[in-house]
Structure 1
Amino acid sequence: MIDVFTFEKNLKKAQIENCYLFCGIDEFIIKENIRKLVQKSIKTDFADFNYIKFDGSSLESFDPVINACETLPFMSDKKVVLVYRAAFIGDEQNGKSKLSYEFNSIQNYLKNVPEHCILILYYLFKNKRDKISKKIYGLDKYLCIVRTDKVKGYQLENKVQEFFDERVKNIKKVDLRIFCSLMNDNNLNMIENEVEKLCCYTYGRDIEREDIKKVFLKSSEEDIFDLVNAISNKKIKDALHILNELIYGGAKISYILSMIERQFNILLKIKLYLEYGSTKKEAMEKLNIKSEYGYSVMLSQSKKFTLNQLKRAVEMCLNTEEKLKSLSTDERIEMELLIINTTA
């Protein structure tokens, strides 16, 4: 089992296996690395013939995948077969997927993928609490497992620096660190959207620290404060209005959800810390809250919820995050339902 950075290093050295399993919660990271692998393996001129995709969540048999793997590539040394959102990989507990019953035969085929084919499967964790199962660990001897954990610390800063470099935009190291500290969920798709926003805001000049404060401390922190405040005061119309304003202003729904979830998590932790006897100073240090005013606002919000209500709100955020991964889901409606349910 390797991490995504080892995978990237191997790819640069052209050390490519013929069978991969990507797993993690951040689909952006998974898709980005699969894209790099495909680009490295097959020519774009013949991609339509040599890059075959299957939706793992709707596959009823693995036979079409095997047939695609066995078929020789067209005008190329390699072909790529992708099984995305391979839910049957994680059906350890309930075994609801038809393919979960065929897992032993699938596992046997993974040992014998032909040399002309690169078979890729990826499995998304249902939420942040999911861990790699024994079932997945058991595949490590048959294929290359790439674990796509959330990027943190210097690795996150280096990745975000790449986003700025791609846009030929200068940002100082210290300011880059401040920017990363405001990107709380480490969702690279969301972070790249925020990089784009900041680059547009500073068009024609270098990024300054004040730009980061103006764009993100107002648009993320204060707006989400207002949204959660409206929820805590049971003002559904106000909350829905703020949601629509955020969407109209260009904020991605995944970003709004991650910020709401973060805010509820902070309120939950404040309530827990105080219940266990922490002082205000200790709670602020543990939560890395610098402003006493900001803490007082969040303390006031936390008092308007019971402990169970906050736990339920965090759980509903995680459930909504899972629903948003479905292509058939109306994202705005799911967010509106989340707001209505958290005010109940």
Structure 2
Amino acid sequence: MFDSLNLEKELKLKKIHSKYILCGNDENSIKGAVEKIKNIALNKDFEELNYTEIDGANLTLPQLINACETLPFMSEKRMVLIYRASFLKDHGDKAEEGRFKEIKEYIKNIPQECVLIMYYIFDNPREKESLKVKGLNKLAHVIKFEKLKGKSLEKKVEELFAERKVDISKSELAIFCNLVDTNLDILENEVEKLCTYAWDRKITRTDIQLLVTQKNENDIFNLVDYISQKKPDMAIDILDELIFKGEMITGILRMIQRQFKLLLNIKIGATQGKSKEVLSKELKLHPYICEKMISQSKKFTLKSIRNAIEKCLDTEKMLKSTSTNAKTEMELLIITVTTLL
């Protein structure tokens, strides 16, 4: 089993395999890896004719065979993506167990001109790869997407700055790593943002504090995303983590309010036909963050976003005017907003 850094090194050398299984907590990083593999495997001009996506929840063996055994058109390879492949998780229902056995047998001999990728997302940050996936390690190239940390994180970030020929000291590097989310796509975007801003001079602490999107902002994004998925228990887990890290509850509430206000502006802007570039400029958001929020806004209606903002304001008044348990009120807010969707 490999990690995302090993995969990245291989892709930089344009090396790809015929079968991949990707798993982890961060679907954005996994989707980014899929896109990189696709760019190497397929001719851009004929991509639509040689690329198939199938929802893992509805996959059938005949469907997989048809997708994999269709000959590539004007290309050496074709690519098949099975997303949200829940049959790769342990303890599935009978249908998923049967689907897994059929697919496990079939992928032993898929055509050499086909690149097959299957991925599934962990249900929580503490989840490990399934026993099924471990058992497929000899049949496919298995990649686990874990958050970078410690020395491995610092080394990776140092490489990103070095690739762009921009200097950063050890102390500034440590500050950057402490602040930024460890998602590889976010790391690259934050490094690119700093390098563009600093141009040909050394990165300073002021640059980092001014420009870097901090971890807690991404936590709030995920918290709101779990609300959109009607998973209040997962949203409350993030709330608990933020409190454990020392965030004040009033500060968390303000960040949630800000997230919903941004979603409201993005939703309204999108209905007016505004592009990502225009919204990014108007709302002073990094294009990558803006793109993520545009996707998130699609999970809400205008009414549900306005209701969420109203409930946030009600909770703020409650926290300021009574001696109620603040954490309980925040949990009630999350549950209430989820039920309004």
TM-score interval, smaller chain:
0.5 to 0.7
**In the alignment, does 2:83 pair up with 1:73?**
no
Q: Measure, in 2, the Cα distance between the counterparts of 1:2 and 1:122.
A: 14
Q: Secondary structure at the match of 2:53?
A: strand
User: Which residue of the partner structure matches residue 110 of structure 2?
Assistant: 113
1:208 alignment partner in structure 2: 204
Q: Give 1:122-201 correspondences, 5 Å limit.
A: 122-161=119-158, 170-183=167-180, 185-195=181-191, 198=194
Task: Decide whether the 8 Å contact of 1:20 with 1:144 is kept in 2.
Answer: yes
Cα distance in 2 for residues equivalent to 1:141 and 1:158:
29
CA contact (8 A) 2:61 2:102 kept: no
Asked if 1:18 is matched to 2:15, the reply is: no
Give the Cα separation in 1 of the matches to 2:19 and 2:9: 17
Write the mapping of 1:244-255 to structure 2, written as runs, cut at 5 A: 244=260, 250=284
Q: How does 1:1-344 map to 2 (within 5 A)?
A: 1-12=1-12, 15-57=15-57, 59-90=58-89, 92-95=90-93, 98-161=95-158, 170-183=167-180, 185-195=181-191, 198=194, 206-215=202-211, 228-230=248-250, 241-244=257-260, 250=284, 329-330=299-300, 336=308, 342-344=330-332
Assess if the C-alpha contact under 8 Å between 1:2 and 1:147 holds in 2: yes
Q: Please list the CA deviations of residues 33-61 of structure 1 after superposition, one character each: whole Å capped at 9, or x if unmatched.
A: 2222222222222212112222224x242
CA offsets, 1:5-25, max 9 Å, x none? 333344455553211101111
- Is residue 179–residue 212 contact of structure 1 (8 Å, CA) maintained in 2? yes
Task: Report the CA distance shift for 1:158/1:49 in structure 2 as closer, same or farther (over 3 A).
Answer: farther
Q: Secondary structure at the match of 1:126?
A: coil
Structure 1 residue identity aligned to 2:5? F
Sort the Cα spacing of 1:229 and 1:24 in 2 relative to 1 into closer, same or farther, 3 A: closer
Match of residue 224 from structure 2: none
Distance of aligned partners of 1:328 and 1:142 in 2 relative to their CA distance in 1, 3 Å threshold: farther
Matches of 2:143 and 2:134, distance apart in 1? 11
How far apart in 2 are the matches of 1:203 and 1:161? Answer: 17
Cα shift readout 1:297-337 (whole Å, capped 9, x = no counterpart): xxxxxxxxxxxxxxxxxxxxxxxxxxx99896329958949
CA–CA distance in structure 2, aligned partners of residues 14 and 191 of structure 1: 22
Cα gap change, 1:219/1:150 in structure 2, threshold over 3 Å: closer, same or farther?
Answer: closer
Q: List per-residue Cα deviations over 1:154-189 (Å, max 9, x = no partner).
A: 433344456556777554443222111112x42334
Gaps of 5+ in 1: 256-323
Unaligned runs of 5+ in 2: 221-241, 266-282, 316-328, 333-341
Moved more, 238-247 or 106-115: 238-247
Measure, in 2, the Cα distance between the counterparts of 1:187 and 1:219.
Answer: 10
Cα offset for 1:215?
A: 4.5
d(CA) in 1 for partners of 2:192 and 2:12?
27
Residues 201 and 229 from structure 1, CA distance in 2 versus in 1: closer, same or farther, beyond 3 angstroms?
farther
Q: Is the 8 A contact 1:41 1:79 kept in 2?
A: yes
Closer/same/farther in 2, CA of residues 9 and 213 from structure 1, 3 Å limit: closer
**Contact 1:227–1:243 (8 Å) recurs in 2:** no
2:88–2:130 contact (8 Å) kept in structure 1: no
Q: Which letter maps to 1:330?
A: F
- 1:199-221 deviation line (CA, Å, top 9, x unaligned): 57657865311222345599969
CA distance in 2, matches of 1:28, 1:103: 25
- Structure 2 length-normalised TM: 0.62
Aligned to 2:323: none
